[in-house]
Amino acid sequence: MYSQTDDALTWTNAGGTGRVAYDQISDIQVYKIRYPGSRRSYWRCVLRDRTDKTLYLQAAHRLGFGKIEDRTETYIPFIKALESRIKAANPGVSFGSGRDWLSVWDSLTGVLLVAALRATRLINHETAAAAASALMRAVGPRLKGHRIARENLVAAFPEKSAAEIERILGGMWANMGRVFAEYAHLDRIWDFDPAGQVAGRIVIAGPNRPRYFAMRVAEGPAMIFGAHLANWEMLCWALGTRDAETAIVYRPPKISAVDDELAKLRAGSKVEYIPAGVNAPFKLMNMMRRGAWIGLLIDEPYPRGVTVTFFGRECSASPLFAQIARQLDCPIYGARTIRLPQGKLALDLTEPVALPRDAGGHIDVQAATQLMTDIIEGWIREFPEQWVWLQRRWR
């Protein structure tokens, strides 16, 4: 507990109480830090007094690994007031910025990943994808995530043999290698010819063809849910072929340099990318009231969501789409990509999903979220090697 008196900063913690006068503080550093297990960054203020004693004030209150209480709302005005008091008491105080070790590591990793993407871009798409696929098939089983993926697969498919589980794991790593190479060529992959005269990498055939063309010209708001199957980025490019306003809700990479590089590659999709966060639902609602179509991948863990059953086990899922559909009573579609031989990707679209309704005729949020989860489970069961089994979906 920190408090500001007229002449000093005081605090109380497990070790007792403390106090430092404002005029004794000689150096202030304010910067953001990130903790292992967390994607977000939080503000930190470092104070040093004239005896070189250091005091850390942080917006993040750690509750455990990956569990952080964000106190930014009260932290920022507290720090601004503290800075003013210190400057008034000691006009010669030094203001600066610092970095924590994890941010330095993130910066280095970002430089390497961006360099790898740009280098991959110089290589023929299919050559790069085949090489990355073979590399990840060899390297993936040596990574920590391999154990998590195996545990998930064994729990999801208790009937499968150990050899079959390993085959799926190898296919998952191979798919991830291809996805990395495809990210480098993201603005070059979508080559669907509506006239059907040129056969490219993107395949839209059978009943998916009329559904796709209907989606391109449909009026009014709608939503499309998907999953991390094959190359999920192609769903964005399919949505971007609409003439009307479209947007995708996404989770930004924790490394800003990678996020910036991907933003450049995604720009050609003509889709607005909205970072997931507390403001995202309000922005989505405003866009949809204008008739926009919105996309979201809903196969990730969502701790504050509704409880659903996924592969026979309970987990939390995002209720966002079901909640919006309940308010606007708009259609919801499902979409996925399927990886085919020879570097091709097929687009698969559903008809509007008939969402369950309650006794009052309104969409039942929990039941609707469960139905969308069931559809995704069916997709994964069909091509389990094309889903990312690395996440701890069940906690």
Q: Considering only residues 294 and 41, tell me which one the structure prediction assigns the higher pLDDT.
A: 294
pLDDT digits (tens, 9 = 90+) for 103-118: 677 778 888 999 999 9
Task: Tell me the one-letter amino acid at 23.
Answer: D
* Confidence grade of residue 64 (pLDDT, cut at 50, 70, 90): low
Q: What is the DSSP track for 252-281?
A: --SSHHHHHHHHHHHGGG--EEEE-STTHH
Distance of alpha carbon 222 from alpha carbon 332, whole angstroms: 6
Q: Is the pLDDT of residue 195 over 90?
A: no
Q: What is the pLDDT of residue 393?
A: 83
Strand partners, 296: 225, 249
Q: Which of 185, 210, 215 is nearest to 200 (CA)?
A: 185
Residue 65 pLDDT class (50, 70, 90 cuts)? low
Whether the per-residue pLDDT at 307 is higher than 70: the answer is: yes
Residue 376 has pLDDT above 90, yes or no: yes
Answer whether residue 224 shows pLDDT above 90: yes
Angstrom distance (rounded) from CA 54 to CA 18: 12
Percent of the chain with pLDDT over 90: 66
Q: What is the pLDDT of residues 327-374, one digit of tens each?
A: 998 999 999 999 999 899 999 999 999 999 999 889 999 999 999 999
Q: What is the pLDDT averaged over residues 299-320?
A: 90
* DSSP letters for 283-347: HHHHHHHTT-EEEEE--S--TTSEEEEETTEEEEE--HHHHHHHHH---EEEEEEEE-STT-EEE
Q: Which residue has the higher pLDDT, 190 or 67?
A: 190
Give φ, ψ of 182 to 5 degrees: -70, -30
pLDDT tens track for 73-86? 899 999 999 999 99
Give the pLDDT score at 100: 66
Question: What is residue 280's predicted lDDT score, i.e. its pLDDT?
Answer: 87
Note the pLDDT of residue 298: 92
pLDDT band at 70 (very low <50, low <70, confident <90, very high): confident
Can you give the pLDDT at residue 39? 62
Return the axis-axis angle of helices 256-266 and 162-184, rounded to nearest 10°. Answer: 70
pLDDT above 90 for 52:
no
pLDDT at residue 61, as a whole number? 83
Mean pLDDT of the chain: 90
d(CA 46, CA 15): 19
CATH 2.30.29 intervals, the chain: 2-98
Please tell me the predicted confidence (pLDDT) of residue 15.
Answer: 81
Q: What is the pLDDT of residues 168-181, one digit of tens each?
A: 999 999 999 999 99
pLDDT 10s digits, 265-279: 999 999 999 988 778
Closest of 142, 157, 133 to residue 380, by C-alpha = 157
Q: What is the pLDDT of residue 322?
A: 92
Whether 11 shows a pLDDT value over 80: the answer reads yes
Hey, what are 199's tokens?
A: 């056969």
Q: If you average pLDDT over residues 152-165, what whole number do you get?
A: 95
pLDDT-derived band at 99, boundaries 50, 70, 90: low
Residue among 173, 168, 165 nearest 133 (CA): 173
pLDDT at 35 over 80: no
Domain 2-98 -> CATH class: mainly beta
